[in-house]
Structure formats: C-alpha cells, structure tokens
C-alpha cells in the first residue's frame, strides 16, 4: 500500500515552529519522565512518521507524543495497524487535554467577573535540563490567555498572569543550554509581555501598556523573531490610535509592514495594511486609507487560509478584516458601506469571541446612527449589553459605547428614545 504523508503531524510541527529533531528530543524527555530512562527516538524516526512510512509508533512513543502535543495519537494522524486511514473533519486546534498530561494553567476559571490565576511551576519542580518541552508548555499557557481574552477581554488578572509567564520564560532561558531554546524563550517572554500590554489596551489603561510594549520590543529583538516584532508594532499602532496619536499609529503600522514576516506571509501583510488603513482614516487621509484597505483585502485573498496562524494572530481573519473595513468606511464618511461590513463581520465571527462581537455590534449601531436611523441604532447598541452579560464590559467596548452616546446626543438631542437609552445604560457602560 502506498505511503501517505502524515499531514496532521506536519501541521502540528509547523504551528509550533518545531523541527523533527526538537520533537524527537521532547518525546525522549517525556519517555524519560514516564519510565525513568530517556527514549531513543531519533530525527530519522520523526521523518518516518511524517512520510507515513511508520504509521503507528511504539507504545511508549505514542504516550509521549500525546503528552508533548496534548492531542490524541489518532488526532496526530497516526493509524492503528490493520486499519485504513479515513478522511475525517479537521480536529479543533485546541482539543480537550487529558488531566494526566499535567499541563499547568495560568487561568483556572473565568466565571462571573473574575479570573483565577494559578501558580506556575515552582523553582524546585523545574527540570534541570531546560528544553523544547518547556517551550511547548509555556506556549500552551499563551494559548490559554488568548482564549480567555477572546471570551471576556482584557483585565488585570490576565495582565498579571501574562507577566508571570514572561518572568518564568526569562528565568528558564538562563538555564538553557542551547541558543535556539534561549531564543524561543525570549520570544515567549515577548509574547507574554505583549499579551499583558494588550490586556491593558483593551481595558483602557493605556499608560501601563506603553511600558509593557517597550519591554516586549526589546525581548523580540533578543529573540530575533520577526513574528514577535510585528506583534509589538501592531499593538503600538492600536495603542497610538486609542491615544489619538494618529501619525504615530500610521508609523507603527508601517513598521509592521516592514517586518520580514509581513513581507513573506500574506496574512501578516494583510493585517499590517489594515492597521495602516485605520490610522490613515483617522488622520484624515481618506484616499490613502481606502487604498491601504484594498491592499489588506488583496493580501488576504492570496493567503492560504488553511495555514495555521501564530497564537497572537488567532483573532485575524475575514471577520476581523470586515470589522476593520467597517471602522474605516464609517470614519471616511461611508456609513452604508460600514453597516454592510459590520453585518459581514458578525456572520463570520466565531461565537466564542464575545468581546469582538460586542465591539462590532456597537460599530454597526454607529453606522446606522450615522445614516439617521436612530431607533434601529438604539436597538442594535443594546445588544452589546446582552452579549457581554455576566462579564465586565471591556474598556474598548466601553469607549465605543461612549462614542455612540456622544453621537446619539449630537444627532438626536431631542429624541425621547435617546434619553431612554442614556438613562438605561449610562451606569452600566461607564463602570470599569
């Protein structure tokens, strides 16, 4: 029977930026943790898994692979002997983990208004040999924080958890024996620090965010990771726009365009152009803003949408580009186009992205208000409170609601419905 390349395992390696040698080392370490004796998996073994020459690893290797990846062995594309590989729907990027994997979580709960931070590995429990398994563990923690942010937005507990992750990554890099692992740990420290900055930006605490981004940019440089560098410039563009420093927002977005990863990867280029478009729109250069928006759409059309994105870019896709399109169109004076783009964004948004859904809903209400449809705009804006029910309203959503109230008062100062909206929601949206 012809060999079939293991695309699932290859995709996991690509998403985690791992080489065959690094996976072999991580598997061997996991086997050592289980049995007391390191495994003998080689780079050649991994190549045989990838090529499909070996479709069912040894029992110890199967267990170790599940520990290292957090996925079942069949989800990694392996097939028990005597069975044919069936075509199945793609497995989720983050399947449930077996408790025996012992992955430590930063965030244990996100119920009500609080998220509980769980301690990281203590100094005494850390392995003496720092390696790829530590990189994987910390990268999982970044994913946890991104998932929490998608659900309820930035908040203080998220910032603290992210900074704790950065601290552990920097501590581990001092113990690392290889330059590659050290650079990856610096990249993770930058990623965590950027996450902390984003949490403050989303919560509207802008001064602290700038400090974190300065640190994140330094760590990205030490890691020599273009992806992390672009993440920082992307956040700097967002921070500058929140501050009303539109020329700086454009400059930061253009710095993101200049990164190696943006030149090589269409999705990154699309995000950088989209961020530039927002800055230009607010700067008053409407033609340039629409040109940048067109470049963002063109770049996304060239992207391989099946290619896994880095964790920090998980938010970016057609839904986010539609949302940015809505912002730009409304700012340049095209509210009907903004309304249409907002509807497209809401259709494309994953259900779990509550904060984004609430934000787009307010943008939709603004577009309707700017077309003079006051009653519809008021009804639409109220949906944002329903979406975020049970969670504090993030700072950016509160800011958008504040903009809606300002424009509502300006455009319909004598409308009874406007007075009712203000009386009903003012306290709810203005309370941090």
What pLDDT tens digit does each residue of the chain (432 aa) get? 456 888 889 888 887 778 888 888 888 887 887 777 888 898 889 988 988 888 888 888 888 887 787 778 888 888 887 655 544 443 333 333 333 333 333 333 333 333 334 334 444 444 456 777 788 888 887 777 777 766 556 667 778 888 888 888 888 888 876 888 888 889 999 999 999 998 888 877 888 899 999 999 999 999 889 999 999 999 999 999 989 999 999 999 999 999 999 999 999 999 999 999 999 999 999 999 999 999 999 999 999 888 888 888 988 999 999 999 999 999 999 999 999 999 999 999 988 788 889 999 999 999 999 999 999 999 999 999 888 887 778 778 888 898 998 999 888 877 788 888 888 777 665 555
Task: For residues 164 and 174, give the distance between their C-alpha atoms in angstroms, rounded to a whole number.
Answer: 16
426 inside domain: yes
> Is the Cα dihedral 50, 55, 59, 65 positive or negative?
positive
Beta bridge partners of 109: 116
Looking at the structure, tell me whether residues 65 and 134 fall in a common domain. Answer: no
Given 202, 224, 246, the domain boundary residue is 224
Residue with tokens 């099946």: 306
Q: Does any domain span residue 394? A: yes
State which residues form the domain around 62.
7-69
| Cβ atoms < 10 Å from Cβ of 73 | 19
Domain presence at residue 328: no
Residue 64 shares a structural domain with residue 138: no
Beta-carbon contacts of 358 under 8 Å, excluding residues fewer than 6 positions away, are 384, 387, 388, 393, 394, 397
78 in any annotated domain = no
Angle, helices 132-152/354-369, rounded to nearest 10 degrees? 40
Give residues with Cβ within 8 angstroms of 87, minimum separation 6: none
Please name the residue that has the structure tokens 């509807």. 343
| DSSP symbols for 103-162 | ---SEEE--TT--EE-----GGGS-SS--HHHHHHHHHHHHHHHHHHHHH---HHHHHHH
Alpha-carbon gap, residue 199 to 360, rounded angstroms: 18
Domain membership of residue 218 (yes or no) is yes
Domain end marker among 224, 242, 274: 224
Q: What is the DSSP letter of 288?
A: H
Q: Model's pTM, two decimal places?
A: 0.71
- Token look-up 């949408």 returns 305
Beta bridge partners of 116: 109
**Crossing angle of the two packed helices 132-152 and 20-35, in degrees rounded to 10:** 100
* Residue 17 CB burial class (10 angstroms; 0-12, 13-18, ≥19): middle
Task: Identify whether residues 145 and 220 lie together within a single domain.
Answer: yes
Q: Count the domains in the chain.
A: 3
User: Looking at 25, 46, 69, which one is the last position of a domain?
Assistant: 69
């Amino acid at each position: 029977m012809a060999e079939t390349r293991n695309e699932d395992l290859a995709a996991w390696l690509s998403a985690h930026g791992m080489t065959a040698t690094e996976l072999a080392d991580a598997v061997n370490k996991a086997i050592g943790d289980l049995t007391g004796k390191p495994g003998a998996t080689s780079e050649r073994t991994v190549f045989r898994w990838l090529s499909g020459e070996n479709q069912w690893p040894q029992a110890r290797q199967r267990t170790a692979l599940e520990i290292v990846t957090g996925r079942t062995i069949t989800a990694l594309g392996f097939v028990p002997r005597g069975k044919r590989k069936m075509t199945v729907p793609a497995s989720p990027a983050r399947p449930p983990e077996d408790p025996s994997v012992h992955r430590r979580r930063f965030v244990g709960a996100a119920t009500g208004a609080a998220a509980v931070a769980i301690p990281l590995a203590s100094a005494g429990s850390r392995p003496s040999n720092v390696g790829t398994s530590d990189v994987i563990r910390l990268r999982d923690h970044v994913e946890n924080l991104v998932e929490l942010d998608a659900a309820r937005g930035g908040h203080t507990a998220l910032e603290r958890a992210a900074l704790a992750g950065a601290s552990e990554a920097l501590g581990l890099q001092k113990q690392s024996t290889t330059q590659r692992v050290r650079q990856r740990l610096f990249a993770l420290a930058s990623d965590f620090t950027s996450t902390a900055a984003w949490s403050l930006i989303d919560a509207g605490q802008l001064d602290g965010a700038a400090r974190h981004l300065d640190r994140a940019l330094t760590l990205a440089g030490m890691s020599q990771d273009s992806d992390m560098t672009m993440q920082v410039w992307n956040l700097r563009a967002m921070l500058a726009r929140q501050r009303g420093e539109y020329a700086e927002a454009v400059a930061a977005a253009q710095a993101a365009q200049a990164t190696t990863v943006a030149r090589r990867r269409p999705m990154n280029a699309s995000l950088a152009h989209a961020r530039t478009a927002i800055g230009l729109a607010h700067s008053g250069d409407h033609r340039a803003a629409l040109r940048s928006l067109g470049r963002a759409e063109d770049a996304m059309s060239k992207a391989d949408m099946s290619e896994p994105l880095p964790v920090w870019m998980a938010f970016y896709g057609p839904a986010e580009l539609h949302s940015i399109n809505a912002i730009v169109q409304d700012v340049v004076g095209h509210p009907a186009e903004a309304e249409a783009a907002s509807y497209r964004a809401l259709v494309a948004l994953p259900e779990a992205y509550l904060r984004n859904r609430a934000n787009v809903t307010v943008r939709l209400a603004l577009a309707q208000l700017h077309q003079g449809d006051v009653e519809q705009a008021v009804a639409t804006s109220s949906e944002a409170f329903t979406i975020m029910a049970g969670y504090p309203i993030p700072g950016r959503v509160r800011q958008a609601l504040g903009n809606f109230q300002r424009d509502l008062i300006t455009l319909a100062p004598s409308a009874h419905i406007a007075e009712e909206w203000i009386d009903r929601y003012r306290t709810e949206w203005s309370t941090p």
